[in-house]
């Protein structure tokens, strides 16, 4: 199939950037979206042009590295997948496709479609961990009884791959879904109790310092999340934070 691509091109973080039109012909419906971009880049390189920079790593839907706002939606039109798992059969011959970077003050554009998501790493460093002594006498985690419901919810929260689609989808570029998943996975497990208050407090403080917006509870994030992280986690984050302040 033949497609018209409207791709955000930006030389570097200080460049203004603009949408550039590309025509691409003979795209196979079995290609992944990233493979389609690979084909475009091969053509650009052959012509001596600068290829389009975009993020990717595993191409298996597990690392969270691929991004892209495709026709206004993070990871494109399909539900519960990452861009590397999106296939061209979701599009029709002759379609125009907008391809833009994830937009947020906290995710500055590095080049073209590549954004710097290290704000998420800094939020993790602020409290998204448990402190254990790995001296060789560490208690076997499987020996600690955990309520089945809590284990399931913690596991669901832990499936977040830190891709940033929630931020890209939110009208406020809020990172609440991501932070709520990271806080929830520990709040529900015995190992997370010791640093529970500090964790919620510090991760929220870092989230705000990075310049993400507040949550208006529109639900756009959860709908676009490749791991379908639920909004109940955001309520839990609110509880954890308020508890750390008022208890």
Partner 1 sequence: MSWFSSTFSSSIGRKFAMALSALFLVFFLLMHLTTNMLSVFSANAFNEASHFMGTNPVVQFLLQPVLIAAVVFHFVMGFILEAKNKAARPVKYAKKDTGNATWISQNMIYSGLVILAFLVLHFIDFWVPEMNYKYIEQLPAVTDRYYGELVHKFQNPVRVVAYVIAFVLLSLHLLHGFQSSLQSSGINNKFTPGIKKFTEIYAIAIPLGFVLIAIYHFINH
Residues forming contacts to partner 1 in the complex (CB under 8 A) are: 6, 8, 19, 69, 71-73, 98, 100, 103-106, 169, 171-174, 176, 201, 204-205, 207-208, 211-220, 223-224, 231-232, 234-239, 241-242, 245
Edge-first strand order for the sheet with 69-70 is 18-24, 3-9, 96-100, 69-70, 73-74
Q: Which stretch binds ligand SF4 (CB under 6 A): 105-113, 121-129, 156-164, 207-215?
A: 156-164
Q: Does 162 bind ligand SF4 (CB under 6 A)?
A: yes
Nearer to ligand HEM, 151 or 214 (CB): 214
Q: Which of 27, 36, 52, 56 binds ligand FES (CB under 6 A)?
A: 56
Q: Which stretch binds ligand HEM (CB under 6 A): 71-79, 95-103, 121-129, 211-219?
A: 211-219
Cα dist from 78 to 26, 66, 91, 225, whole Å: 22, 15, 10, 11
State phi, psi for 53 to the nearest 5 degrees: -80, 130
Cα dist from 88 to 1, 70, 117, 160, 191, whole Å: 9, 12, 26, 25, 43
Q: Does 114 bind ligand FES (CB under 6 A)?
A: no
216 binds, options ligand HEM, ligand SF4, ligand FES, none, Cβ within 5 to 8 A by partner type: ligand HEM
Token digits of residue 69:
């706002």
Q: Are 100 and 69 in contact (CB under 8 A)?
A: yes
């Amino acid at each position: 199939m033949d497609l018209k691509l409207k791709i955000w091109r930006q030389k570097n973080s200080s460049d203004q950037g603009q949408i550039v039109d590309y025509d691409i012909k003979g795209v196979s419906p079995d290609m992944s979206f990233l493979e389609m971009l690979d084909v475009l880049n091969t053509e650009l390189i052959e012509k001596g042009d600068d290829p389009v920079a975009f993020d990717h790593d595993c191409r298996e839907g597990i690392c969270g590295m691929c991004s892209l706002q495709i026709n206004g939606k993070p990871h494109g039109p399909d539900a519960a997948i990452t861009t590397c798992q999106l296939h061209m059969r979701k599009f029709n011959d002759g379609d125009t496709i907008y391809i833009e970077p994830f937009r947020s003050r906290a995710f500055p554009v590095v080049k073209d479609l590549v954004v710097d998501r290290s704000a998420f790493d800094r939020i993790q460093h602020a409290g998204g961990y448990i402190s254990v002594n790995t001296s060789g006498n560490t208690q076997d985690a499987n020996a600690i009884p955990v309520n089945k419901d809590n284990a399931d919810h913690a596991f669901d929260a832990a499936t977040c791959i830190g891709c940033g689609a929630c931020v890209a989808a939110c009208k406020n570029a809020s990172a609440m879904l991501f932070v709520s998943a990271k806080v929830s996975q520990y709040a529900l497990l015995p190992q997370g109790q010791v640093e529970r208050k500090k964790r919620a407090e510090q991760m929220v403080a870092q989230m705000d310092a990075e310049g993400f917006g507040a949550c208006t509870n529109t639900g756009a994030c959860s709908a676009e999340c490749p791991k379908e992280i639920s909004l109940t986690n955001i309520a839990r984050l609110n509880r954890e934070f308020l508890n750390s302040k008022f208890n």
